[in-house]
């Protein structure tokens, strides 16, 4: 069983469109959407949810108004500005609370307790391209790295049970905790970038992160023809890092139109030059699995 993650140093590079294309090209695999903070792979995969699970992402403070004396100690100590006196009662903002428990420890009358936060969900679904594991982090919730690890663990378990050859991961943007959880233990990282200064800067950060995991990495430059000079800079940087630029994809409206129609680009325009280019890209990646 091999694992490939499609990642990007920044958002908006076309990473999920690339992942969708690979989902339609690959066989005998399970799909994982690790962008749990802002999941959108479901737009093209149109998953049918089979099982839903609660995710315990952390704990939030809750004040019992019948015990609380409104002494203000917790409000003074809270470093996250989550506790305030509202309409004569000390309350906790669930969006600001970081779950540090300092207020629980400091409360002289034990009026505060920590409650499990169960606003997030993760799912096992079926798509026209095979099984899919995905999640949705609750609004303002944290511990997305832990959630990514949880859905990846389930995906690997399912792949072994179903004798699947590939775990295809649509990763989150950036280099934070969910990206680290996405890259851990994979075989190949495909980094999707764009010809902008921020695209090059964030790609460089992602390359450094991937090197820490000693991963086999490739780069795909999307919309390369919008700035040929910057695309050349990205190619030169990749060469200096000894990373192969797998392909340069020109700007193409089919990406947007396919997404609007909830299709992969290969379904929307199967005979286009863009679709043929993706077929060649996937053939090249598949060679790494042998």
Report the top-level CATH class of 2-56+119-287. Answer: alpha beta
pTM for the full model? 0.89
CB 214 within 8 A of CB 189: no
Report the top-level CATH class of 59-116. Answer: alpha beta
Mapped onto helix, strand or coil, the DSSP state of residue 201 is helix
pLDDT given at position 158? 98
Q: What is the pLDDT of residues 136-194, one digit of tens each?
A: 988 777 778 999 999 999 999 999 999 999 999 999 999 999 999 999 999 999 999 99
pLDDT given at position 116? 87
Q: How confident is the model at residue 249 (pLDDT cuts 50, 70, 90)?
A: very high
Residues 105, 100: Cα–Cα separation, whole Å: 10
Q: Which residues of the chain form CATH 3.30.70.20?
A: 59-116
Q: Tokens in use for 12?
A: 């908006």
Q: What is the CB-side half-sphere exposure of residue 66 using CA atoms within 13 A? A: 0
Task: Name which of 188, 170, 172, 190 is nearest 246 in CA terms.
Answer: 190
Residues 287, 266: Cα–Cα separation, whole Å: 21
Q: How confident is the model at residue 24 (pLDDT cuts 50, 70, 90)?
A: very high
Mapped onto helix, strand or coil, the DSSP state of residue 130 is strand
Examine the pLDDT at 58 and tell me if it is beyond 90: no
Q: Tokens in use for 249?
A: 């994809």
Q: Tokens in use for 166?
A: 């590939």
Q: What is the pLDDT of residues 209-222, one digit of tens each?
A: 999 999 999 999 99
pLDDT given at position 166? 97
pLDDT given at position 94? 87
pLDDT given at position 95? 86
Task: Name which of 33, 248, 42 is nearest 144 in CA terms.
Answer: 33
Q: Tokens in use for 144?
A: 């997305």
- Average pLDDT on 248-270 reads 96
Higher pLDDT, 192 or 289: 192
Q: What is the pLDDT of residues 67-93, one digit of tens each?
A: 999 999 999 999 999 999 999 999 999
Kindly list the distances between the CA atom of residue 208 and the CA atoms of 7, 22, 202, 215, in Å, as whole numbers in the listed order.
Answer: 13, 25, 10, 10
Q: Tokens in use for 34?
A: 């690790």
In percent, how much of the chain has pLDDT > 90?
92
The mean of the pLDDT values for the chain is 95
pLDDT given at position 144? 87
pLDDT given at position 174? 94
Q: Which residues of the chain form CATH 3.40.50.300?
A: 2-56+119-287
Residues 246, 99: Cα–Cα separation, whole Å: 44
In percent, how much of the chain has pLDDT > 70?
100
Q: What is the pLDDT of residues 276-285, one digit of tens each?
A: 999 999 999 9
Examine the pLDDT at 124 and tell me if it is beyond 80: yes
Residues 232, 234: Cα–Cα separation, whole Å: 5
């Amino acid at each position: 069983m091999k694992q490939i993650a499609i990642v990007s140093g920044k958002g908006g590079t076309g990473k999920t469109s690339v992942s969708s294309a690979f989902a339609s090209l690959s066989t005998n695999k399970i799909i994982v959407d690790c962008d749990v903070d802002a999941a959108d792979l479901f737009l093209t995969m149109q998953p049918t949810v089979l099982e839903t699970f609660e995710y315990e992402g952390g704990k939030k403070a809750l004040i019992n108004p019948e015990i609380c004396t409104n002494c203000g100690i917790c409000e003074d100590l809270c470093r996250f500005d989550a506790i305030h006196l509202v309409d004569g009662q000390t309350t906790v903002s669930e969006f600001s609370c970081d779950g540090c428990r300092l207020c629980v420890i400091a409360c002289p009358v034990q009026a505060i307790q920590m409650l499990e936060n169960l606003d997030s969900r993760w799912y096992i679904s079926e798509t026209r391209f095979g099984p899919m594991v995905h999640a949705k982090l609750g609004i303002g919730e944290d511990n997305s790295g832990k959630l990514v690890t949880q859905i990846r663990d389930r995906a690997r378990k399912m792949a072994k049970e179903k004798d699947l050859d590939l775990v295809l991961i649509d990763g989150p943007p950036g280099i934070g905790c969910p990206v680290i959880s996405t890259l851990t233990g994979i075989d190949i990282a495909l980094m999707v970038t764009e010809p902008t200064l921020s695209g090059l800067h964030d790609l460089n950060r992602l390359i450094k992160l991937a090197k820490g995991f000693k991963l086999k990495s490739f780069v795909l430059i999307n919309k390369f023809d919008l700035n040929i000079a910057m695309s050349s800079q990205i190619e030169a940087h990749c060469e200096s890092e000894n990373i192969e630029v797998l392909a340069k994809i020109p700007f193409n409206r089919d990406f947007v139109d396919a997404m609007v129609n909830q299709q992969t680009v290969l379904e929307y325009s199967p005979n286009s030059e863009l679709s043929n280019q993706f077929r060649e890209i996937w053939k090249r990646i598949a060679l790494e699995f042998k």
